[in-house]
Amino acid sequence: MKSKPRHGTGNRNDAANKLVLRNHAGRKVQVLYQGTRTVDDAPAREAVLRQTFFRRSTLNRALVVLLATLFVAAAAWGQGTQFLTYTPNADPLLGPHNYQGAGCTACHAPHGVTLEGSTGYLWGLSIPLKSYTVYAPGYPGGTNPLNTSSLLTQDPITGAYTPNNAAQVDTAMCLSCHDTSFSGSPLANTGLSNPNNQIVDSNGTSLNHNHPVDVAYPLAGSNVTFWVVNVTAGVATFSDAKGAVFAYGHPAKLFVYNSAAYVECGSCHNPHNFQVTVVTQSGGPVAVQTAHFVRGQYDTTANQQNFCVSCHADKSGAWDGQGDQ
Amino acid sequence: MRKNLLVVLVLALIAMVSATAFGQACPGSWTFVQNGVTLAWSASQFTASGSATGCYIPTPTIDPTYTSTTTPSLGNGILTNTYTWIYNPITNGLVLKTSGYTTTNPSFGTVGVNGFVSGPPVNGVTVFNGYGIPVNGILQPTYGTGYNGVAVPNLGPLGNGYTTVYVLNGQLVSKGTAGAANVIVATGAVAWSGQAYDSSNGAALDVLGGHGASSGCMNCHTPHNSGRLDATKPAMYNSTLGNVYSVSIVNGVATGTVVGNYFTNAAAGPFSPYAPTNTPAFVWKSSGYGTQLGGSMNPYLWNHALTQVTYNTWDGTATTNTTGGGVSTINATLLISGKEPVVHTLLCLSCHDNSMSSHGMTNPSITKTNGFVTAAGSGQITEPGVVTGTVASAGATVAWGAGSLATSHPVDALYPADGGIAALGGSYYWKVTPNADGTVTYTDTDTNQIGDSGFYGHPGRLYSDGTKAWVECTSCHNPHRQTSPAWVNTTGKYTVGAYGTTTYYIRGPYSTLDGTISAGFCRSCHYDKSPEYIANSGASK
């Protein structure tokens, strides 16, 4: 039998021909397969493996250990876990959202929050109370303009606000900083020329040059061009109804309000994960590299379409045009 | 074969070195704003170290005796809109309850009810009566000073003034003599006048800090339960009623209308006898509370009354907490009914609810600059209990109203022992085991929250009712250790002094200058926000 280099769960022979590398916690991180030798029986396979991986000389053992270590590091690098290295005041997950070294408190407050309740996320920043026009051509059910003033109800005792719309708040919070025309923004007067800071246009009233936010995502049965989504118990779930699981997964998060699913800023961006995140792919969780706080696996140099088509089914190769994808 | 291995090895090493170097670009400069003063570091002050740590900024050199003498310019002008304010008789000031006013040419110091409007509140930022609370980065003139960017505490209800006030890390630790001109001395060389601590004993500051001011342990505990918590002496402070005003400010002239009332404590100090004017809803039990509280009629030999107020917690007025479990309101009756973990919140409210405080803890818990959280105070955590019924005469029964803890992290909230997931809307927590003795054990102890510096563990302390784990105030705060954290480690003993200092009595290492360290404490419970969650590819731990 001639074994071939391969990945994935192997059969009995594969198991005999591989070297499993594990990290300190015992987690499997890399599998090395014996590549080209012909193996006729178990003793021979054992002999080949010994020849391949465990030569008798001490020097070779050391080289193998070093090589294995480098492969482990390389595997970690590919998963994005290299970003977990700690440097003072450079948080591996928050990235620039670790603003001024404040960590979690750059956005959240353990006391004295500005938004109350479970939909308020212990928000510690002020929110601009004004109206924004949004880009929403052809997508009914959204809110245009988006008026953050109507979003919030003030608590007469604490002075803080309670969001009226559990979806819209996931856009409004972002504007605390990324509307740099807002005097309460920590980035005020810093970001008009910096696209990482400024999302709202220079007059501070328009979001319509951005991907639609606070727009309804068409639910199952109402569209043929998006992946099928069902809302159950306040949670929106991509169903992959046809059974052909989209291998990349559906990392985007839809926010539910009044049994409808909405696209908000937080649908594409996870503010807690700058360069590395965990997504579900092919039915299981996996750590992947990302960029720009994108919720899914994202490479700035290649295959950027994967994240987009994880919602826009009609732009994917898996689309069948029937609306049951 | 050996030659091939060597070639592969060399190539791999080159790749790794290149990849490491790729992430080493150091920033050209860095600034930090402290009390409105910008501190700058140039590129030459950055240190590029080895591949393991990359660039870092040297420890900022902040003058420990830094005192701002800047008098803010409040401008001249007019407030034009109508807003609702609550008059706080403790601070004799006003709290803004709405936002969005016109800020053109504000004129402060001449506007307001009873002459007390001291700063330009913006978008819900609370303003008090000029007691050293920075407003929008501007220190107020009356007590205008600070320390390391932390607000100087409010002097509280006895606001007639003190000759000297000593402050350490924003904590009021000692007062001088009342009645003279007010002078704030913000210094690291704090003199102590308390009974329990020698002023030369600097180490004591690292332990109790402001919680030990004046009376040491007796600030909170009593060695002899001499009737203070006796059921025949109702555990309630002498309370008075404060007014809730609706204030209109037009062209710089304010008029107010009383729209409601709320309770506030008048005077009672830690050793003052009670003079109840209302029938208490709760007194300490005359018999034991159960195993977790040692069967004591006065758990922890507590030296204060318990609050009578029912508080809305984080999830507001909902009848059930649908996201984190737990309860939406808490009050002392929960303790009577046997829910013992809640005592670890109720005791804190003896002081940190300004309707009960005997220490003038009325400054806000958070100070913001342009909406950005810049400093934490030491005092008020709650909003006052509002009287919803008819106001009765002194001595008559008055229903206590609801206060609010809704602006704080959930307390008396269920911690999901299984790590949560679906029940918490997708959030993941470290798994725990609630024990019968009131303790809670984390399943996984390998949490290297600060890089690879070791087994940081889980400094957050959860409380068990025997079957479930609960988050209380003291889950995050250890009232006995202001700057030197200590927590149970994997050996069953305590980690003390490792991984850095803390602040705000937080149970684990915490830095206001290094977000990774401060986030590490949060992540010791919030697993799905931690590097370990990534490293374990989202597997529950």
The answer to whether residue A96 is domain-embedded is no
Please, is B18 exposed, middle or buried when counting C-beta atoms within 10 Å of its C-beta (0-12, 13-18, 19+)?
exposed
State the smallest CA–CA distance between residue B519 and chain A in angstroms: 5
The answer to whether residue B183 is domain-embedded is no
State the smallest CA–CA distance between residue A111 and chain B in angstroms: 4
Q: What mean pLDDT is predicted for residues B56-74?
A: 28
Q: Is A218 on the interface with B (CB under 8 A)?
A: no
Chain B residues with CB-CB distance to A98 below 8 A: 515-516, 519
Q: What mean pLDDT is predicted for residues B28-56?
A: 38
Task: Name the range with the highest mean pLDDT among A17-21, A23-27, A234-238, B170-174.
Answer: A234-238
Higher pLDDT, B493 or A152: A152
Q: Are residues A301 and A232 in the same domain?
A: yes
pLDDT at residue B99 in the model? 31
> Is residue A310 within 8 Å of residue A252, measured between CB atoms?
yes
The answer to whether residue B410 is domain-embedded is no
pLDDT class of B224 with cuts at 50, 70, 90: low
pLDDT at residue B293 in the model? 52
pLDDT at residue A266 in the model? 96
Q: Is B212 on the interface with A (CB under 8 A)?
A: no
Task: Determine, for residues A125 and B373 on separate chains, whether the beta-carbon distance falls below 8 Å.
Answer: yes
Inter-chain Cβ pairs, chain A and chain B, closer than 8 A: 233
Last residue of a domain, one of A57, A78, A99: A78
Task: Determine, for residues A286 and B537 on separate chains, whether the beta-carbon distance falls below 8 Å.
Answer: yes
The mean predicted confidence, pLDDT, of chain A is 73
Q: Are residues A264 and A298 in the same domain?
A: yes
pLDDT at residue B446 in the model? 62
Candidates A23, A57, A79, A86: best to mutate against B (most CBs of B within 10 A) is A86
Lowest mean pLDDT, pick from A111-115, B29-33, B336-340:
B29-33
pTM for this model (two decimals): 0.63
> Is residue A116 within 8 Å of residue A154, measured between CB atoms?
no
Q: Is B533 on the interface with A (CB under 8 A)?
A: yes
Neighbour-count burial for A123-147, b at 16+ CB within 10 Å, e otherwise: bbbbbbbbebebbbeebeebbbbbe
Determine phi and psi for B371, rounding to 5 degrees: 85, -5
Gap between the terminal Cα atoms of chain A = 40
CA separation for the pair B381, B364 (Å, rounded) = 7
CA distances from A71 to A65, A68, A195, B15, B16 (A): 10, 5, 37, 11, 10
Residue type, B530: S
Higher pLDDT, B499 or A28: B499
Residue type, B490: T
Q: What mean pLDDT is predicted for residues B13-37?
A: 40
The answer to whether residue A277 is domain-embedded is yes
Q: What number of CA atoms fall less than 13 Å from residue B147's CA on the CB side?
A: 21
Task: Name the range with the highest mean pLDDT among A24-33, A305-314, B95-104, B345-354.
Answer: A305-314
CA separation for the pair B140, A112 (Å, rounded) = 20
Q: B135-174, pLDDT tens digit by residue?
A: 333 323 232 222 222 333 333 322 233 333 333 333 333 3
> Is residue B286 within 8 Å of residue B227, measured between CB atoms?
no
pLDDT class of B416 with cuts at 50, 70, 90: confident
In this model, does residue B183 exceed pLDDT 90?
Answer: no
Task: Determine, for residues B2 and A93 on separate chains, whether the beta-carbon distance falls below 8 Å.
Answer: no
Q: What mean pLDDT is predicted for residues B94-101?
A: 31
Task: Determine, for residues B123 and A74 on separate chains, whether the beta-carbon distance falls below 8 Å.
Answer: no
Q: Is A184 on the interface with B (CB under 8 A)?
A: yes
Cβ contacts of A307 within 8 Å, gap of 6 or more: A248, A251, A252, A268, A294, A295, A296, A297, A298
Q: What mean pLDDT is predicted for residues B53-60?
A: 34
The answer to whether residue A5 is domain-embedded is no
CA separation for the pair A324, A229 (Å, rounded) = 10
In this model, does residue B401 exceed pLDDT 80?
Answer: no
CA separation for the pair B363, B380 (Å, rounded) = 6
CA separation for the pair B98, B272 (Å, rounded) = 37
Cβ-nearest to A110 among B368, B409, B446:
B409
Chain A residues with CB-CB distance to B365 below 8 A: 111-112
Torsion angle defined by CA atoms of residues A122, A127, A130 and A134, in that order, rounded to the nearest 10 degrees: -70
Nearest 5 degrees, angle CA B442-CA B446-CA B451? 130
CA separation for the pair B116, B93 (Å, rounded) = 5
In this model, does residue A249 exceed pLDDT 60?
Answer: yes
Q: What mean pLDDT is predicted for residues A218-245?
A: 82
User: Given the structure tokens 């991509």, which residue do they identify?
Assistant: A238
Q: Is B55 on the interface with A (CB under 8 A)?
A: yes
Determine phi and psi for A230, rounding to 5 degrees: -115, 145
Cβ contacts of A12 within 8 Å, gap of 6 or more: none
Q: What mean pLDDT is predicted for residues A235-258?
A: 84
Task: Determine, for residues B6 and A64 on separate chains, whether the beta-carbon distance falls below 8 Å.
Answer: no
Query: Whose CA is closest to A139, among A315, A311, A322, A318?
Result: A311
In sequence order, what DSSP letters do the residues of A8-25 get, joined into one string?
Answer: SS--HHHHHTEEEEE-TT
Task: Name the range with the highest mean pLDDT among B209-218, B291-300, B322-331, B377-386.
Answer: B209-218
The answer to whether residue A21 is domain-embedded is yes
Look up residue B335 and give its DSSP letter.
H
In this model, does residue B500 exceed pLDDT 90?
Answer: no
In this model, does residue A296 exceed pLDDT 80?
Answer: yes
Determine which helix (DSSP H) or strand (DSSP E) holds B372, and give its type and residue range: strand B372-376
Gap between the terminal Cα atoms of chain B = 42
Task: Determine, for residues A93 and B529 on separate chains, whether the beta-carbon distance falls below 8 Å.
Answer: yes
In this model, does residue A271 exceed pLDDT 50?
Answer: yes
Determine which helix (DSSP H) or strand (DSSP E) holds B119, and give its type and residue range: none
Nearest-by-CA chain A residue for B526 = A104
Instruction: Kindly provide the residue ranges of all beta strands, DSSP E only, lying in B417-520, ordered along the sequence.
Output: 420-421, 427-428, 432-434, 440-442, 463-464, 469-471, 486-488, 494-496
The answer to whether residue B402 is domain-embedded is no
Lowest mean pLDDT, pick from A33-47, A308-322, B139-153, B298-312:
B139-153
CA separation for the pair A311, A211 (Å, rounded) = 13
CA separation for the pair A159, B126 (Å, rounded) = 9
pLDDT at residue A167 in the model? 93
User: Given the structure tokens 């948080």, which residue do they identify?
Assistant: A91
Q: What mean pLDDT is predicted for residues B515-532?
A: 87
> Is residue A293 within 8 Å of residue A273, measured between CB atoms?
yes
CA distances from B451 to A106, A244, B23, B528 (A): 20, 40, 16, 16
Full strand arrangement of the beta sheet holding B93-96: B93-96, B82-88, B239-250, B253-265
CA separation for the pair B20, B52 (Å, rounded) = 9
pLDDT class of A265 with cuts at 50, 70, 90: very high
pLDDT at residue B345 in the model? 86
CA separation for the pair B411, A100 (Å, rounded) = 28
Query: Whose CA is closest to A168, among A267, A94, A270?
Result: A267
The answer to whether residue A91 is domain-embedded is no
CA separation for the pair B452, B460 (Å, rounded) = 20
CA separation for the pair B218, B303 (Å, rounded) = 7
The total domain count for chain A is 3
- Structural domain harbouring B464: 416-535
CA separation for the pair B363, B352 (Å, rounded) = 10
Residues 64-93 of B with CB under 8 A from A: 84
> Is residue A238 within 8 Å of residue A228, measured between CB atoms?
yes
Task: Determine, for residues B364 and A59 on separate chains, whether the beta-carbon distance falls below 8 Å.
Answer: no
In this model, does residue B536 exceed pLDDT 50?
Answer: yes
pLDDT at residue B428 in the model? 83
State the smallest CA–CA distance between residue B19 and chain A in angstroms: 9
pLDDT class of A251 with cuts at 50, 70, 90: very high
The total domain count for chain B is 1
Cβ contacts of A165 within 8 Å, gap of 6 or more: A151, A257
Q: Are residues A134 and A188 in the same domain?
A: yes
Q: B431-471, pLDDT tens digit by residue?
A: 899 998 888 998 886 655 554 445 578 889 999 888 889 99
Cβ-nearest to A157 among B2, B55, B383:
B383
Q: Is B99 on the interface with A (CB under 8 A)?
A: yes
pLDDT at residue B298 in the model? 57
pLDDT class of B208 with cuts at 50, 70, 90: confident
Task: Determine, for residues A106 and B515 on separate chains, whether the beta-carbon distance falls below 8 Å.
Answer: yes
Task: Determine, for residues A116 and B513 on separate chains, whether the beta-carbon distance falls below 8 Å.
Answer: no
User: Given the structure tokens 């959204």, which residue do they identify?
Assistant: A142
Tell me the three state secondary structure of residue B242: strand
Cβ-nearest to A278 among B55, B425, B538:
B538
B333: Cα separation from own chain's centroid: 24
Nearest-by-CA chain B residue for A271 = B529
State the smallest CA–CA distance between residue B275 and chain A in angstroms: 27
pLDDT class of B314 with cuts at 50, 70, 90: confident
- Structural domain harbouring A31: 12-78
Q: Is A116 on the interface with B (CB under 8 A)?
A: yes
Q: A82-134, pLDDT tens digit by residue?
A: 556 666 667 888 988 988 888 898 999 888 788 888 888 999 888 888 889 88
Cβ contacts of A222 within 8 Å, gap of 6 or more: none
pLDDT class of B9 with cuts at 50, 70, 90: low
The answer to whether residue B430 is domain-embedded is yes
Q: A275-285, pLDDT tens digit by residue?
A: 999 998 877 88
Percent of chain A with pLDDT over 70: 65
Tell me the three state secondary structure of residue B528: helix
Q: Are residues A306 and A247 in the same domain?
A: yes
Query: Strand pairing of B402-404 and B310-312?
Result: parallel
User: Given the structure tokens 């029986």, which residue do they identify?
Assistant: A41
Q: What mean pLDDT is predicted for residues A55-77?
A: 45
Q: B363-373, pLDDT tens digit by residue?
A: 444 444 443 44
The answer to whether residue A92 is domain-embedded is no
Last residue of a domain, one of A78, A97, A119: A78
Q: Is A106 on the interface with B (CB under 8 A)?
A: yes
Per-residue tokens: A19? 């070297």
Candidates B348, B373, B523: best to mutate against A (most CBs of A within 10 A) is B373
Chain A residues with CB-CB distance to B95 below 8 A: 159
Last residue of a domain, one of A194, A212, A230: A212
The mean predicted confidence, pLDDT, of chain B is 51
Q: B228-280, pLDDT tens digit by residue?
A: 333 333 333 334 444 443 333 333 333 444 444 444 433 332 222 233 333 33
Nearest-by-CA chain A residue for B477 = A110
Nearest 5 degrees, angle CA A85-CA A89-CA A90? 45
In sequence order, what DSSP letters do the residues of A52-89 get, joined into one string?
Answer: HH--SSHHHHHHHHHHHHHHHHHHHHHTTGGGG--BTT
Chain A residues with CB-CB distance to B538 below 8 A: 278, 285-287
Per-residue tokens: B384? 């006052």
In this model, does residue B76 exceed pLDDT 60?
Answer: no
CA separation for the pair A3, B165 (Å, rounded) = 80
